Amino acid sequence: MRKNYFVTGTDTDSGKTLVSAAILRSWSHEGLATLGIKPVAAGCQWIDGELKNDDALALMAESTIELSYSQVNPIALEPAIAPHIAAAQAGVKLNADRLAAFCRGTLMRKYDRALVEGAGGWRVPLSDREPLSRLAQELNFPVILVVGMKLGCLNHALLTAEAIRRDGLVIAGWVANRAEPDMSEFDANLAWLTKAMGAPLLGTIPHLSNPTAETAARYIDLSKLI
């Protein structure tokens, strides 16, 4: 049976792509057909005459189904700034309906598991009218929340979880990613979040000096995924 998930984070650099790639790697080890999508990405570079994003390339590297770059990342923006600002500068209109249509087109392929990775945090704007969370609502996929473990993460994590549920979506699980290696009272913060989140903790990824999908996958248990 096919299963789809939307991956979001508490903020930029929380570790969404690392976790998404690790999950795809874990699924592929189970013999599942997988694909990852990054509908909109800012901070792209020109590679072989095409704007490409490192996050989208990481998802492609860990997906078992071969897709064209534009199928994985249909909206690629060059400036490494908020997507709605980058899109305005490029003369590109962003809206949730259009991005959802791109995703559904890619998801017409035969597969077992798919991830759609957001950009920034849950409420990052697509435009003056819509946040990116509207895309998650359009797709209606269960959400995997990546919490960047650092000072302030308790507030960010609980507000994000509250917003996801208020938008009518289910949190299928969350991952604690140690974004700040010297975070004070890490264990106490993790224990508090584990009790407060109301969703299964899929894993705790330590701070990795050379983070890879293969290494991160060792710390994730997908058997707990709703």
Where in the sequence numbering do the catalytic residues fall?
A: 38
CA separation for the pair 125, 103 (Å, rounded):
18
List Cβ neighbours of 14 (8 Å cut-off, separation of 6 or more). 121, 146, 147, 148, 177, 179
Q: Which amino acid is at 167?
A: D
Q: Give yes or no for a contact between 173 and 201, defined as CB atoms under 8 angstroms apart.
A: yes
> Please, which residues have CB within 8 angstroms of residue 187's CB and are 6 or more apart in sequence?
none
Q: Quick one: which of 160, 183, 178, 158 has its CA closest to 219?
A: 178
Handedness of CA 69, 22, 134, 45 (dihedral sign): negative
The candidate with the shortest Cα–Cα distance to 71, out of 16, 27, 19, 108, is: 108
